[in-house]
Structure 1
Amino acid sequence: MELNLVEMLVRSSCAFFVILILARIIGKKQVSQLTFFHYVTGITFGSIAAEISAQVETPFLDGLVSLVWWAVLTVAVSYISFRSKKARVLFDDKPSIVIQNGVILNNELRKARLHTDELAMMLREQSIFSFDEVLYAVFETNGELSVLKKPLARTATKEDVSVSAPAPQYLPMQVVTDGKIISQNLTELQLTEDWLMKKLSKKNIHGIEDVYYVQVLENGSLYISIKNASPPS
Structure 2
Amino acid sequence: MSEHVEVILRSILAFGILLIGSRLLGKQTISQMNIFDFIASITLGAITANLAFNTSLKIHHMVLAFSIFVFVILATAYLSLWNQKARKFFAGDPTVVIQNGKILEHNMRKMRYTIDYLNQQLREKDVFKIEEVLYAIIETNGTLTVLKKPQFRNVTKKDLWIATASEGKLPIELIMDGKMKEDNLKDNQLTHEWLQSELQKRNLSAEEVFYAVLSPDRNIYLDTYKDHINSSLDKE
Q: Structures share a fold, TM > 0.5?
A: yes
Residue 111 of structure 2 is aligned to residue 96 of structure 1:
no
1:14 partner letter: L
Q: Distance in 1 between matches of 2:119 and 2:8?
A: 49
5 Å-filtered alignment, 1:64-83, equals: 64-83=63-82
1:152 partner letter: Q
- CA deviation map 1:18-43 (0-9, x unaligned): 11111111111111142111112111
Q: Return the offset for 1:5.
A: 2.5
Contact 1:97 1:137 in 2 (8 A): yes
Q: 1 or 2 for the larger relative contact order (CA 8 Å, sep ≥6)?
A: 1
5 Å-filtered alignment, 1:1-233, equals: 3-156=2-155
- CA deviation map 1:81-121 (0-9, x unaligned): 11111111111111011112222222221222212222112
2:112 counterpart SS class: coil
Q: Distance in 2 between matches of 1:117 and 1:53?
A: 40
Give unmatched runs, 5+ long, in structure 2. 156-236
- TM-score when normalising by structure 2: 0.62
- CA deviation map 1:124-151 (0-9, x unaligned): 1212111011111011111110001111
60 and 155 in structure 1: CA distance in 2 versus 1, 3 angstrom threshold: closer
1:142 counterpart SS class: coil
Contact 1:33 1:42 in 2 (8 A): no
Contact 2:98 2:104 in 1 (8 A): yes
Q: Return the offset for 1:6.
A: 2.3
Q: Distance in 2 between matches of 1:115 and 1:4?
A: 49
Alpha-carbon RMSD: 1.6
- CA deviation map 1:183-215 (0-9, x unaligned): xxxxxxxxxxxxxxxxxxxxxxxxxxxxxxxxx
1:63 counterpart SS class: helix
Instruction: Give the total of aligned pairs.
Output: 155
Give unmatched runs, 5+ long, in structure 1. 157-233
Q: Distance in 2 between matches of 1:12 and 1:34?
A: 26
Percent identity, aligned pairs only, is: 38
